[in-house]
Amino acid sequence: MTERDIQFAARTLWENWQQSRRIEELPQHGRPADRVDAYAIQTRLAELSGQGIAGWKIAATSRAGQAHIGVDGPLAGRLLKERVVESGARISLTGNIMRVAEAEFAFRFRRDLEKRKEPYSLVEVLSAVESLHPAIEVPDSRFEDYTVVGAPQLIADNACACWFILGTPTEANWRKFDLVQHKVDGYRNLEHSSSGIGANVLGDPRVALTWIANELSQFGEGLLAGQVVTTGTCITPIPVTPGDQVRMDFGAFGSVEVQFS
């Protein structure tokens, strides 16, 4: 793709995001065919937003999630600063077509993981992490049917990013816990709605964290100190409508909640 095509695609997606409109897919000349072009469009989209980057999200970290959107592996997207809120916040579902809430393990980094040729190991990635947070993602898409457009267009569309609710860092010594078997319970309007474990996130949230460190090392500029990475839903997403209140209980790691208007 030319730089002009990349800018066109990014502008198309950002304008539709701002106006809560949907497109079937990007026009042919603005449609990425691979991850290189897809992440280039995503970068321009973030620039057009005028917002800083609070961190990153990983989409499609479960087999069910990958099958649902027709991809064969995870996707990375940016968390725009004005779309990151604290636990207890009220957010709008206006224009949101997905209308689900997802429980996710999130990690804040204390030092950079710079772009490099050699892959990062799980040990290296974990050594760069400062804290673990319970979190909720509320995704959305700028495509009419996001299940059929394919990975490159989904990446260009910021991997279905929309709202992100970041809980307070856990006081538990999370490094001593078995995150694979760690249980999370989701509640909608005080009623239990969904349960899951860390194994639903690429087999282990720490594996997902290592995946994105290497994805951004290959296709981006790496991870930066202070950024947060949310690793994908560990429960079946909870359907939500305006007026709902959702709480995700991470046990010893604390809980996080959000209200919808």
Question: Domains of the chain (ranges plus CATH)?
Answer: 52-260 (3.90.850.10)
Check whether 185 has a pLDDT greater than 90.
yes
Residue 43 vs residues 13, 40, 143, 157, 225: alpha-carbon distances, Å:
12, 5, 18, 10, 19
Q: What is the pLDDT of residue 19?
A: 92
CA 44 to chain centre: 18
Q: Is the pTM of this model over 0.85?
A: yes
pLDDT of residue 128: 98
* Per-residue pLDDT at 25 exceeds 90: yes
Beta-bridged to residue 185, according to DSSP, are: 195, 249
Task: Give the pLDDT confidence score for residue 34 in this predicted structure.
Answer: 97
For residue 166, which amino acid is it? L
Percent of the chain residues past pLDDT 70, beyond the cut: 100
Alpha carbons 208 and 120: distance in angstroms, whole number = 12
CA–chain centroid gap for 253, Å, is: 20
Judged against a pLDDT cut of 90, whether residue 92 lies above it is answered with: yes
Give burial (CB, 10 Å; 0-12/13-18/19+) of 11: middle
pLDDT at 64: 85
pLDDT at 141: 96
Query: Which residue type is seen at 84?
Result: V
Q: Which residues pair with 78 in a beta bridge?
A: 56
Quickly state the pLDDT bin for 62 (edges 50, 70, 90): confident
Q: Give me the chain's average pLDDT, please.
A: 97
pLDDT tens-digit readout, 125-183: 999 999 999 999 999 999 999 999 999 999 999 999 999 999 999 999 999 999 999 99
Taking CA atoms, 178 is separated from 121, 181, 206, in Å, by 18, 6, 10
What pLDDT does 167 receive? 98
Please name the amino acid found at residue 260.
F
